[in-house]
Amino acid sequence: MITDVNVYLERWPFRRLPCDEPARLVDKLRAGGVTRAWVGSFDGLLHKDIGGVNARLAHVCKRVDPQLLIPFGSVNPKLPDWPEDIRRCHEDYHMPGIRLHPNYHGYTLDDPVFAELLTMAEKRGLIVQLAVRMEDVRTQHPLMQVPDVEVGPVVQLVKARPRLRLVLLNSSRTVRGSTLIDLVSAGQVYCEIAMLEGIGGVASFLNSAPLDRVLFGSHLPLFNLESATLKLRESVLSAAQRDAITHENARRLFGE
């Protein structure tokens, strides 16, 4: 039983990927033992019609497998009427959360609009997923260089919003050590393992991140699902630790 909190539908803008079609993605998830996937849309990175992006995401998840695919809508607070996008995600599509890409949408986390967005999400009880990076800077297109998100302002923002649930995606390469400790101590901040590297990486990561704040994430289809599952197998973890990371923490965060 696995809940994968870091999955995408639609096409990566820069190249075709294995499993970038819904049926193939679902087959891969099921074969890998994933019973629930929190799914965003690659279209949310560059498309300006965010309303259309979220409508398609909700439709595909409902049509293909609503028990497996749980949609997380995109919100770009630098586009007009973004509060309406949040409202639609919550009220019309009944999404449990939203997924943000500040470095693709052109704002930093000390921008007042980001604080406004977090306040709105907290009031609605939405989980906020914040993608710190999408790919290694060394693999980026030369005309599309996108730096990692600087997460420093998050500490104070989370402290001021005790009911906010925030998940950092693809953060393990840059958010580590004391920075990670400060973040998870500030409030309900979680992270996932998609970009962890090194032998025994998950076990080492638990030296900084509390077990109850670590989630399973694969970053499928940009990354291989097998890479994430192998990280759990090659680390020295107890059965209780594996259960917490693969599904129990996500279930509690989801409110179940």
Q: Name the residue with tokens 């500490």.
A: 155
pLDDT tier at 78 (50, 70, 90 boundaries)? very high
pLDDT at 218 over 90: yes
User: What does the pLDDT read at residue 10?
Assistant: 97
pLDDT at 167 over 80: yes
User: What does the pLDDT read at residue 197?
Assistant: 85
User: What does the pLDDT read at residue 99?
Assistant: 98
| Per-residue pLDDT reduced to its tens digit, 82-93 | 999 999 999 999
Residue 131's alpha-carbon distances to 5, 103, 159, in angstroms, are 12, 9, 20
Q: Please tell me the least confidently modeled range out of 54-68, 149-163, 197-211.
A: 197-211
User: What does the pLDDT read at residue 173?
Assistant: 83
Contact 12, 135 (CB under 8 A): no
User: What does the pLDDT read at residue 176?
Assistant: 81
pLDDT at 239 over 90: yes
| Per-residue pLDDT reduced to its tens digit, 17-33 | 999 999 999 999 999 99
Q: For residue 197, what is the domain's CATH number?
A: 3.20.20.140
Q: Name the residue with tokens 């977090």.
A: 118
Averaged pLDDT, 229-239: 93
Look at the chain and report how many structural domains it folds into.
1
Residue ranges making up the domain that contains 244: 2-254
